[in-house]
Amino acid sequence: MATRVHSLIRMPVAHTRRFGAIEYDPSSVLTFPSGLPGFDGHSLFTVVEQPELAPVVFLQSVTAPELCFLAAPVAMIDAHYELALNREDLDRLDLDPARSPVPGVDVLLLALLCAPENGPLTANLLAPVVINLHNHRAVQAVRSDLRYSHQHPIPSTAEPVCS
Amino acid sequence: MLVIRRRPGETLVIGENVEVEVLDATPSQVKLGIRAPKSVAVVRKEIHLTRDQNFASAREISHGALARLSDSLKNRPDSFKNLPR
């Protein structure tokens, strides 16, 4: 999403604590109409990719230099994840409430990761970020059931395996 | 956990200032009305969990964890290397 379209077109610049000043394509900016829980005023994020972390990405606020999340495709964590969107979230995404959005076609699901220095990497599957691929509107869709954890552990395959 | 049985229209009180009234109940859902001072935050538990988890996620992107993640992703199947655009 953060591709540079043309060298002659001057892209806007976001100042970030993690990446310094970065150019971003305004047409690829994700708009969270109501922010995220705890970050209510923060609506505009750009996706920053680093090849060595793909398909994990950073969601960097374009207005708050210090605000950045690490996010992974939900399908990478749970291939059978079942999305549940309430009416409010469907409206915020501008999706038709009469039909279920298809992941990968209509929407992209990302899980926000918590990556502490000491302690396991976890993903919030209770509240995935849902991006409407047609208009780049996004919500953090908080489920009201207890089916998925907000601290779903991600096993590290790099850990030594005892035989 | 304290368990109290109440019917629609009945109320319980928490501390000096918080009242919880059962407005309606069906076999699958209970509708509650809450009277509390502005200083008392009333929020659905899943929103509260997500807010705290978001604070932790925004705070905790450590170099060590990124290095471990990068290592573990090398062993992933290629089908996840590219996000849909």
C-alpha R_g of chain B: 22
Q: A108 contacts in B (CB within 8 Å)?
A: 83-84
pLDDT digits (tens, 9 = 90+) for A33-70: 999 999 999 999 999 999 999 999 999 999 999 999 99
Mean pLDDT of A71-86: 94
pLDDT digits (tens, 9 = 90+) for A122-140: 999 999 999 999 999 999 9
Residue A54 vs residues A93, A103, B77: alpha-carbon distances, Å:
25, 19, 11
Please give the share of chain B, as a percent, with pLDDT higher than 70: 88
Q: In this complex, do A158 and B72 lie within 8 Å of one another by their Cβ atoms?
A: yes
Task: Note the ipTM here.
Answer: 0.87
Mean pLDDT of B41-61: 94
pLDDT recorded at residue A3: 56
CB B40 within 8 A of CB A114: no
B78 contacts chain A (CB < 8 A): no
Looking at the predicted structure, is the pLDDT value of residue A159 above 60? no
Task: Indicate the pLDDT class of residue B81, thresholds 50, 70 and 90.
Answer: very low
Mean pLDDT of A7-29: 89
pLDDT recorded at residue A163: 44
Task: Name the domain count of chain A.
Answer: 1
B72 contacts chain A (CB < 8 A): yes
CATH number at residue A97: 2.30.290.10
Provide the domain limits for residue A109: 13-153
Looking at the predicted structure, is the pLDDT value of residue A23 above 60? yes
Q: Calculate the average pLDDT of chain A.
A: 90
Task: List, in sequence order, every residue forming a beta bridge with A55; answer none if it has no partner.
Answer: none
pLDDT recorded at residue A160: 47
Helix (H, G, I), strand (E, B) or coil at B65: helix
Strand order in the sheet with B30-35: B11-14, B18-25, B30-35
Please give the share of chain A, as a percent, with pLDDT higher than 70: 91
pLDDT recorded at residue A119: 87
B82 contacts chain A (CB < 8 A): yes
